[in-house]
Amino acid sequence: DQQVKQNSPSLSVQEGRISILNCDYTNSMFDYFLWYKKYPAEGPTFLISISSIKDKNEDGRFTVFLNKSAKHLSLHIVPSQPGDSAVYFCAASAPGMIQGAQKLVFGQGTRLTINP
Amino acid sequence: NAGVTQTPKFQVLKTGQSMTLQCAQDMNHEYMSWYRQDPGMGLRLIHYSVGAGITDQGEVPNGYNVSRSTTEDFPLRLLSAAPSQTSVYFCASSYSPPLDENTGELFFGEGSRLTVL
């Protein structure tokens, strides 16, 4: 039962254009969402996050949008650069069994390729 | 700035062997966790800890044991390796469980690639 889904395994975008990566979730208890970026042979690195009380968070070229009614979030990268080529994971946080603890549930990842 | 350090980076085991993946962080983080990454499955949480002496199971805990005797270290033990445990393993830590924006960032190690024959 995949609670966080990234239905596009790959995405190819021309340099300078907008990249839009999508993520859907099923668990209405998720209250915090994050995007991570991963280069080959490296660990994922944090990119941007959003809490469920907001519908948008922006950081430079990166913007995350959250649509709670649709249980959908998206990451927009504008303008896309060759260095953005990586695998992007969305993740959601739900309360864990230990009081106050939360744990992240990740999607399958989308491989973004930026073409010059 | 070491951050999160995982050892070994690569390991080949035979079915039934045991081993421990080591994870250490020098950022005084309370929260540590182990994930495995498999093709088409993304990152799946194995076990996590919110502090020394406190651990809990994630999505895929079977076949793995953890303990947290210090803030810095969070080893992952495979007691009897199986081919299904062939994967890339990531250790991660953060200041606290994600509570609001900019405090829930996980810092990941570089990964440990394990092959079980």
User: What does the pLDDT look like over B26-37, one tens digit per residue?
Assistant: 998 888 999 999
Amino acid present at B20: T
Q: Which of A92 and A72 is assigned the larger pLDDT?
A: A72
**Nearest neighbour of B104 by CB, restricted to A45, A93, A100:** A93
Nearest-10 Cα torsion for B82, B84, B86, B92: -100
Instruction: Kindly report whether the peptide bond that precedes residue A9 is cis, defined as omega within 30 degrees of 0.
Output: no
pLDDT recorded at residue A2: 77
Residue B86 burial by Cβ neighbours in a 10 Å radius (0-12, 13-18, 19+): middle
Range from A6-20, A44-58, A95-109 carrying the lowest mean pLDDT: A95-109
Mutate to test the interface with B, among A25, A54, A106 (most CBs of B within 10 A): A106
Check CB contact of B2 with chain A, cutoff 8 Å: no
Q: How far is the alpha carbon of A68 from chain B, nearest alpha carbon, in Å? A: 17
Residues of B in contact with A42 (CB under 8 A): 110-111
Inform me whether the pLDDT recorded for B97 exceeds 60: no
pLDDT recorded at residue A101: 58
Q: How far is the alpha carbon of A72 from chain B, nearest alpha carbon, in Å? A: 18
Q: How far apart are CA A81 and CA A16, in angstroms?
A: 6
Q: Are B25 and B42 in contact (CB under 8 A)?
A: no
User: A24-76, pLDDT tens digit by residue?
Assistant: 999 998 888 999 999 999 999 999 999 889 999 999 999 999 999 999 999 99
